[in-house]
């Protein structure tokens, strides 16, 4: 699965880099955690793989896209909650974890901070892929999430692997 957030690419300015497009080739699904800013971005991602996206605070303010504030995706018995994260206290991962538990999620994917983050807390895996275009105090990044469906694991999160990819500017 390709994970991306905070692209902030308008219809008139910018585009997804070739590195992003190449990195996502071969994934089965792309999840965008909001602040997309244009339908063009979603169209380009959908040309690579089916894409599920949620609205970010900038999408909501501009009223450019018709997206839900959250989505739940279930893959191989793992519930993934996709949100932007602007309605939760910034970087308060205890609150993120409680929110995910309330939604019966195993994985919470969010954006908003423009910083890559990976943390496991109380059997919740929290992932922020960062921003490929406007990083804050970090490298520009996206992520690839892999679920190993072949092997049996004691804990279902043990079959999840996350790889961050640094995007060259």
Give the pLDDT confidence score for residue 14 in this predicted structure: 77
CATH class of 2-166: alpha beta
**Is the pTM for the entire model greater than 0.75?**
yes
* Model confidence at 157: pLDDT above 70: yes
124-129 and 141-147 beta bridge pairing:
unpaired
Q: What is the pLDDT of residues 89-125, one digit of tens each?
A: 666 777 778 888 889 999 999 999 999 999 998 789 9
The first and second tokens of residue 160, run together, are: 């999840």
Note the maximum CA span of the chain.
49
Q: How would residue 150 be classed by pLDDT, with cut points 50, 70 and 90?
A: confident
| Measured CA distances, 134 to 39, 100, 140, 145 (Å) | 18, 26, 7, 21
Bridge partner residues of 160 (DSSP): 147
Give the pLDDT confidence score for residue 59 in this predicted structure: 84
Mean pLDDT, range 7-13, rounded to an integer: 83
Domain boundaries, the chain: 2-166
The three-state secondary structure class of 164 is strand
Mean pLDDT of the chain: 90
DSSP 104-140: T-SEEE--SS-SEEEEEETTEEEEEE--SSS-SSS--
Question: What is the residue whose two structure tokens read 């895996």?
Answer: 125
Give the pLDDT confidence score for residue 90 in this predicted structure: 66
The first and second tokens of residue 113, run together, are: 């901070």
Q: 39, 20, 53, 51: which is closest to 131 by C-alpha?
A: 20
Q: How many residues does the chain have?
A: 169
């Amino acid at each position: 699965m390709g994970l991306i957030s905070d692209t902030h690419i308008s219809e008139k300015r910018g585009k997804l880099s070739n590195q992003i497009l190449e990195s996502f080739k071969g994934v089965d699904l792309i999840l965008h955690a909001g602040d997309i800013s244009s339908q063009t971005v979603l169209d380009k991602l959908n040309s690579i793989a089916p894409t599920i996206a949620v609205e970010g605070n900038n999408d909501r303010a501009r009223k450019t896209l018709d997206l839900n504030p959250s989505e739940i995706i279930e893959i191989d018995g793992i519930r993934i909650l996709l949100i932007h994260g602007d309605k939760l206290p910034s970087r308060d991962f205890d609150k993120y974890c409680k929110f995910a538990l309330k939604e019966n999620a195993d994985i919470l994917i969010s954006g908003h901070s423009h910083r890559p983050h990976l943390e496991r807390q109380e059997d919740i895996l929290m992932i922020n892929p960062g921003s490929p275009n406007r990083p804050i105090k970090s490298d520009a990044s996206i992520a690839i999430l892999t679920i190993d469906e072949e092997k049996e694991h004691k804990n279902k999160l043990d079959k999840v692997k996350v790889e961050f990819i640094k995007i060259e500017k």
